[in-house]
Amino acid sequence: MPLQKRPLLMLAVALVMGSLAVLLVNNLMRPHTTPSRVLSLRTVPVVVAAHDIQPGIKLDPLMLKTVDWPADALPQGAFSSADAVVDPLPPVALREIRKGEIVLAYKLSGQGARGGLASRIPEDQRAISIPVSEISGVSGFVMPGSYVDVLHTSAAGRADQIPATKVLLQNVPVIGIGQNSAENKTDPKLVKAVTLLVDPESGQKVALALATGSLSLLLRNEFDASLLATQEITWRQLGPSSQAPVELRVVKRERRVPAGLRPAAAPATAAHEIEMIRGLKVTQQTVVDTPTTTASTQGARAAP
Output the pLDDT for position 123: 83
pLDDT of residue 295: 33
Q: Out of 9-13, 44-48, 199-203, pick the least confident.
A: 9-13
For 14-24, how does the pLDDT look when each residue is reduced to its tens digit (9 = 90+)?
787 888 888 88
pLDDT value, residue 141 = 92
Evaluate whether 109 touches 59 at the Cβ level (below 8 Å). Answer: no
What pLDDT was estimated at residue 285? 58
- CA–CA distance, 145 with 94 (Å, rounded to integer): 13
**Which of the two residues, 65 and 120, has the higher pLDDT score?**
65
| pLDDT for 289 | 46
Question: What domains can be seen in the chain, in order of their start residue?
Answer: 40-119 (3.90.1210.10), 122-233 (no CATH)
Instruction: For 123-146, write each residue's pLDDT tens digit.
Output: 899 999 999 999 989 999 999 989
Q: What is the mean pLDDT of residues 236-265?
A: 67
Whole-structure pTM value:
0.60
Name the maximum alpha-carbon separation found in the chain: 135
Mean pLDDT across 241-266 = 64
Determine the average pLDDT of the residues in 111-127: 82
Q: Give the mean model confidence (pLDDT) for residues 293-303.
A: 34
Please tell me which residue, 74 or 248, carries the higher pLDDT value: 74
Q: How wide is the angle at C-alpha 47 spanned by C-alphas 46 and 48, nearest 5°?
A: 115
Q: What are phi and psi of 108, to 5 degrees?
A: -120, 155
Query: CB count, 10 Å around CB of 153?
Result: 17
Percent of the chain with pLDDT over 70: 76
Position 38 scores a pLDDT of: 47
What's the rounded mean pLDDT across residues 186-193?
87
Q: How confident is the model at residue 279 (pLDDT cuts 50, 70, 90)?
A: low
| pLDDT-derived band at 222, boundaries 50, 70, 90 | confident
- Residues of the chain with pLDDT > 90, as a percent, come to 37
Q: 3-state SS of 246-283?
A: CCCCEEEECECCCCCCCCCCCCCCEEEEEEEEECCEEE
* Average model confidence (pLDDT) across the chain: 79
Cβ-contact 147, 172 below 8 angstroms: yes
pLDDT of residue 24: 81
The pLDDT of residue 199 is above 90: yes
113 near 153, Cβ under 8 Å?
no
Percent helix, strand, coil in the chain (nearest 5)? Answer: 25, 30, 45
